Chains A and B, each alone.
Chain A
Amino acid sequence: GAVVSQHPSRVICKSGTSVKIECRSLDFQATTMFWYRQFPKQSLMLMATSNEGSKATYEQGVEKDKFLINHASLTLSTLTVTSAHPEDSSFYICSATDGNYGYTFGSGTRLTVV
């Protein structure tokens, strides 16, 4: 089945620095990938849709300049949290679909900004 790899699984960074999270589709090509954010004991909130070779589409209320998305190839999308602050601390999850069996999710990245 479809496999999506995400790393790092956990990152701690200092306030004001930037953090990059990678999401790879291992055994299929994904023209579209998705980035979600999850707060403790809450559901997943879609942040943006990452489109290979074009600009990402952001959901309402998500800061484009804060959360930079690059989908450079058919198997890789990256999310960069720029000038991170403690309120950006959260669980970030990516997903992709091979078009046949629904959406597959990465294992998530727990970001802590200190």
Chain B
Amino acid sequence: GIQVEQSPPDLILQEGANSTLRCNFSDSVNNLQWFHQNPWGQLINLFYIPSGTKQNGRLSATTVATERYSLLYISSSQTTDSGVYFCAVERLGNYKLSFGAGTTVTVRA
């Protein structure tokens, strides 16, 4: 199956700092999504981004499909940004999502 690697595994930030999370994948993809899992377990869809760049408030994401990676940027981090961020991909022709191991982000006040 497709391999999805996220880095770093853990990230500790001071409130107001910026950060970049990375997702590498091993094959061509139909779909790539970034999720934030909140403390109650709910997966919040941040971006549907198989290619290109998108921005939503303090968050933005870029996927370079030809080089098989995606980046999630968090700017001016807040304590509410804490949680686990997952990258998930749908391999070309295979209609199901495969998840990376996640990046655990802790934002300290």
Contact = CB atoms under 8 A, between A and B. Distances in A.
Most A Cβ at <10 Å: residue of B31, B35, B99, B100 = B99
A93 B96 contact: no
A105 interface: yes
B32 to A, nearest CB: 9
A102 B48 contact: yes
Contacts, number: 46
B40 A43 contact: no
Given A44-B86, A102-B33, A34 B41 contact: no
Interface in A70-114: 91, 93, 95, 101-105, 107-108, 110
Interface of B: 31, 33, 35, 40-43, 45, 48, 86, 88, 90, 95-102
Interface of A: 32, 34, 38, 42-44, 46, 49, 91, 93, 95, 101-105, 107-108, 110
